[in-house]
Every structure is written in C-alpha cells, then in structure tokens.
C-alpha cells in the first residue's frame, strides 16, 4: 500500500501544474494547517501512548509522530521513560528501532524486555559530546527510517532544536528530547512540550505547549497519569 502511495498522483500533479485555485476545504485538509476550533484532532499524525489520561488530553489523542516533542525535567528519575514505555515497546514490535542517545544512565535490559521492548530493535548511542549526540540524532531522524529516538540534551540551543525539528518533519519517527528545566524559557520549535516537576507516581505533569491546546508555560495543562 505504501508503495502505491509513493506513486505520483496524476490528478494533483495536473492541478499543481495549472495552478488551479485550491478550495478552502482542500486547504484545511493539509497536514500543516490546523484549526484551533477542532483542536487539530483530525489531521495530526499521532500514536496512542497507552496512558488513557494523557491520550485524552493530547491533541489527536496521542503522542505526535513526525514532529519533535520535548520533556523538561529538573532532574532524572521521575518516571519520564516509564510514561512512554508502552508506546515505545509497541513501536519496536512494528519493526521500528528504539534509539537511546546519550542517556544519563543506560537502560536496564531485563526491565525493557519485560515491558515488551523487542531487544533486537534497541540501540544505545554513547557519543563523546553533546554536539555529536545532536548530530547523531539529526542523522537518524533525517535518514528516512522510522525510529523512536530519545535524546538527552543539556545545552541544546534554539538552533539545534530547530534542526532536530526540521529533521523530524515528514518522517515517521518519534523524536523526544529530554532537557533540563532551566531551558523552559527558550523558544522551542517542538510540537509538544511537557514539564515534569515531581515523580509521576505522585504528581501530575504539565503540558506547556501542544498544537490545538490552549495552554502555555504560565498556564500548563495538568495531567495526572
């Protein structure tokens, strides 16, 4: 099916060539146009996280695929990986690689296996510097493979994040960057920004930014998982 989709569509090709007027309904069907009214739920490419409260809160009822997402943390060990583990495990079974890029601590393999991660799809990248980690992440995202990439970045600036966002766009990858809370003020190109202050087992997370949701850093949407 995907092969057929790759073939050029003769109808749209001629429409483009003749610069025919585009109707507004066609325009609204585009992936990169969303309307605040319907919360962007209809068109976004998402995948359910398996955590019902989170899915209910997120636009499109799932985690964004093919767009950069970001989790801000004061420190590690707050349940931030556990949050997405069902989704990550499910993706490995679909044949998609799960790539850890420069985590503060390597994952425990038996735990991942028990959570259902297909271990033959697991790759850990431990580069020497954050610069190389950013480069590697960009390469993976831009390679056209569909992966789930988890990156831990401390000093990534807006430009670096924008590069990652560009590389993610149009791919079928899940791209998630863990960043320190100190970088919350930075303008972010991420489609989804989440902030975790305290262990998720006891506290809620805050959605700072999501397309189609009315929330902000000042007024985060609290979700109790």
Partner 1 sequence: MTADHTWLCLALPRLALDLIDRAQADQPAGAPRVVIDGPEQRAQVHLADSAAAAHGVRSGQRLAAAQALAPLTIHRRDQLAERQALERLAAWAYGYTSRVSLDGGDALLLEVGASAKLFGGDAALQTTLQADLAELGFSALLGYGATPAAARLRAEVARRDPARSGAIYPLAPLALGDSALDSRIVATLQATGIRTLGELAKLPRSGIARRFGQATLDYLGRLRGELPEALDPYRPPDSYHAWLELPASCSSSEALAFPLKRMLNDLAAVLTARDGGVQHFMLRFALESARRSSEMRSSIGDICRLEVGLIEASRDPEHLYTLTRARLERMRFPRPVLGIHLEVARLPSFVPRFQDLFGDSSEATSLTPLIERLSARLGDAALLRPLWIADHRPEYASRWRPHAEGPALIRPPEGESPGASRPLCLLPEPLPIDRDSLILISSAERIESGWWDDGDVRRDYYIAEIVEVERLQRGRLAATVSMAAAAREPARDSFQLTAGARAWVYQDLRKPECWYLQGWFG
From the CB of 110, what's the least distance to partner 1, in Å? Answer: 6
Rounded Cα–Cα distance for residues 192 and 190 (Å) = 5
Rounded Cα–Cα distance for residues 218 and 225 (Å): 21
When the beta carbons of 14 and 139 are compared against partner 1, the nearer one is 139
Residue 127 lies near partner 1 (rule: CB under 8 A): yes
Structure token pair of residue 49: 């996280």
- Per DSSP, 106 falls in state P
What does the alpha-carbon distance between residue 113 and residue 98 come to, in Å, rounded to a whole number?
A: 12
Instruction: Name beta bridge partners: 215.
Output: none
Binding mask 5-44 for partner 1 (x = CB under 8 A): -xx-------------------------------------
Q: Which one of residues 168, 175, 178, 206 is an interface residue with partner 1 (CB under 8 A)?
A: 178
**Does residue 187 interact with partner 1 by CB under 8 A?**
no
Contact status: 189 vs partner 1 (CB under 8 A): no
**Residue from the set 146, 189, 213, 225 that interacts with partner 1 by CB under 8 A:** 146
- The β-bridge partners of 179 are 72
Tell me if 120 contacts partner 1 by CB under 8 A: yes
- The token pair at 194 is 């989440």
Q: Does residue 201 belong to the site contacting partner 1 (CB under 8 A)?
A: yes
């Amino acid at each position: 099916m995907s092969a057929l989709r790759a073939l050029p569509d003769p109808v749209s090709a001629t429409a483009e060539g003749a610069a025919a007027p585009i109707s507004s309904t066609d325009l609204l069907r585009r992936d990169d146009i969303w309307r605040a009214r319907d919360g962007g739920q209809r068109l976004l490419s998402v995948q359910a996280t398996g955590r019902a409260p989170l899915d209910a809160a997120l636009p499109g009822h799932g985690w964004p695929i093919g767009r950069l997402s970001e989790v801000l943390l004061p420190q590690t060990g707050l349940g931030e990986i556990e949050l997405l583990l069902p989704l990550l495990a499910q993706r490995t079974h679909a044949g998609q690689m799960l790539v850890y890029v420069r985590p503060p601590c390597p994952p425990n393999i038996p735990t991942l296996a028990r959570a259902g991660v297909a271990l033959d799809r697991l790759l850990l990248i431990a580069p020497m510097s954050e610069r190389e980690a950013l480069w590697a992440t960009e390469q993976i995202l831009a390679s056209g493979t569909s992966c789930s990439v988890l990156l831990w970045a401390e000093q990534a600036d807006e430009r670096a994040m924008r590069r990652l966002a560009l590389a993610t766009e149009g791919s079928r990858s899940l791209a998630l960057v863990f960043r320190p809370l100190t970088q919350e003020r930075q303008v972010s190109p991420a489609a989804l920004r989440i902030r975790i202050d305290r262990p998720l087992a006891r506290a809620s997370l805050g959605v700072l930014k999501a397309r189609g949701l009315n929330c902000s850093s000042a007024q985060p949407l609290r979700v109790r998982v």
